[in-house]
Amino acid sequence: MADFLDKIKGKIDQGISTVNVKSKEIIEKQKIKLQISELGAEKKDLLLELGKLAHLMIESTGGEENITKESGAKPKKSDNIKPDKWEQAVLSVLSNICEGNRGSILFENTDKEFKITAKALSVEVQKSLPKSEQKGQNLQWLGRVLGKFGIASRKYSKRINHERETVYEFDKQKTLQALSKVGTSKSKPDKKGQGTDYRQHIVSMSQEINQLDSKIAKLEEKLSEVGT
């Protein structure tokens, strides 16, 4: 009888052990799938921004030059890209931050660069406008404004307080230089220089996409190995 009970106990223990292993495998797979999903969403956002930048770059050359060329870009007839009141609000907030103000809204802040979530930047821009003029611009609009005026920034997705947030990383000196080109002048900044800014931003974003592809590929390989 004792042997019989021992055999039953052994089978039960073996079954529990198998269930525990399978449960751990399922949890691990779900974690990896979630990571892949988040990286895929980040890549999708970057691709959208990349397309917008490419469009702006083509426009800055009058649509006549190959976007891979460094020189020979011809300006369009219309030279007026004075920022509207909503775009100017974005530029003013960034200028204030670069000058050492509004540090409380930043995600990170050093002597050379600062990081701010797209949500925090959007809220600050809205606060700087009269309520009657607040348009509730979405977060993608911020990316278009930065690209339009050649303000290069690194953009990435990060989980903050259990929520996935878009974070912009700005170099203070480069941001001030880009802002100084815009100013309040009615004339458009030098097209050749602007095209170069677009190219640099496009190359930077392309590199980020390549890095994401590499991370996704490694995670997919890891996923296929779980349970094997």
Splitting the chain (228 residues) into consecutive groups of 10 residues, what average pLDDT does each group show? 61 64 82 89 82 72 51 42 80 89 88 90 82 67 81 81 86 86 49 57 80 90 80
Q: Which two tokens mark 145? A: 């404004």
User: How buried is residue 138: exposed, middle or buried, by Cβ count under 10 Å (0-12/13-18/19+)?
Assistant: exposed
3-state secondary structure of 80: coil
Q: Please report the pLDDT score of residue 17 as a whole number.
A: 65
d(CA 72, CA 66) in angstroms, rounded, equals 10
Edge-to-edge strands, sheet with 113-117: 108-109, 113-117, 163-171, 154-160
Tally of residues, the chain: 228
Q: Where are the domains of the chain?
A: 16-77+191-228, 83-184
| Residue found by looking up tokens 């797209």 in the block | 118
Termini Cα distance of the chain: 38
3-state secondary structure of 117: strand
Q: Please report the pLDDT score of residue 125 as a whole number.
A: 85
Amino acid found at 93? V
d(CA 182, CA 171) in angstroms, rounded, equals 17
pTM of the entire structure? 0.48
Helix and strand numbers (H, E) in the chain are 6, 4
3-state secondary structure of 36: helix
3-state secondary structure of 12: helix
Handedness of CA 105, 108, 113, 116 (dihedral sign): negative
CATH fold label, 83-184:
Arc Repressor Mutant, subunit A (1.10.10)
